[in-house]
Amino acid sequence: GSSILAEYGTLHLEFMHLSKLSGNPEFAQKVMNIRKVLNRLDKPQGLYPNYLNPNSGQWGQHHVSVGGLGDSFYEYLLKAWLMSDKTDEEGKKMYYDALQAIETNLMRKSSSGLTYIAEWKGGLLEHKMGHLTCFAGGMIALGADGAPDDKTGHQMEEAAEIARTCHESYARTGNCDNLRMNRKCLFEGSLLYSFPVSEALKLGPEAFRFDGGVEAIATRQNEKYFILRPEVIETYMYMWRFTHDPKYRDWGWEAVQALEQHCRVEGGYSGVRDVYASSPNHDDVQQSFYLAETLK
């Protein structure tokens, strides 16, 4: 029965643009009313929980994620400001305040120095980062130029670190039985595998963890799949556009080659059930966002 942050956040951009195109202010008024509610509400540690009760106007369970259920709310606050020709000061403030809260409460560094964005459940951190959360590298880079208090350089560094972590989640795949127990499967320094790096699938899991001696690796069977998602490649594209560092094009090309090698089938492209399997099983689904986002 709850409204979902990513969904009503997405409406901001769509409805503001609809009012602009149609000349009818009613659409914009609807979403600005949502903003009023959000600004009035107390936010735990400045964070936006993923669930809001549409009747009471109060937060549901205190689960915060920059990935699934939350992602596009933050992205669209920033884009609402940019699309307004930087006149939407309220959208701008909400975005940078939210990013500061995310940085303080959710962003962490692993023991080997990988920056990741954890999830927050009722005040406790779950040291898991979803593939969906990997869009945040591109988002932070996009917003860095307008960052307050000379934080532009700092935010570009954060964006680059997130891009690197998400690339590691792709690089650290392949055939590795019982990841949690097999220390050889992990890494010393940067990367050391119990199999040749060339055998790595180079396609990242749905979610990856930073606990129990594991970094940037999925440890649960229901998080090991890859369904042609765009977020990691999206961040590479933004980082290439803003920095022109050739490694981002190299990483993008790695992903293209992996998609061709492991996902291409007779009728199109298919997701993979387990990115750590020696011979990946296809799930026989080409997701709509593969054409709409990943390839774009």
In Å, what is the CA distance from 63 to each residue of 34, 102, 116, 180? 19, 13, 17, 26
Sheet containing 119-121: which strands, arranged edge to edge?
63-64, 119-121, 124-126
Task: Please tell me which residue in 119, 206, 231, 254 is annotated as part of the active site.
Answer: 206
Query: Within the chain, how many helices (H) and strands (E) appear?
Result: 9, 11
Residue 203 identity: L
Q: Which helix or strand (DSSP H or E) is residue 116 part of?
A: strand 115-117
Could you say which DSSP state residue 19 is in?
H
Q: How far apart are CA 110 and CA 216, in angstroms?
A: 9
Residue with tokens 């009728």: 267
Q: How far apart are CA 180 and CA 214, in angstroms?
A: 7
Q: How far apart are CA 231 and CA 251, in angstroms?
A: 13
Judge contact between 158 and 116, C-beta under 8 A. Answer: no
How big is the chain by its Cα radius of gyration, in Å? 20
Which residues partner with 44 through β-bridges?
Answer: none
206 is catalytic: yes
Catalytic residues: 206
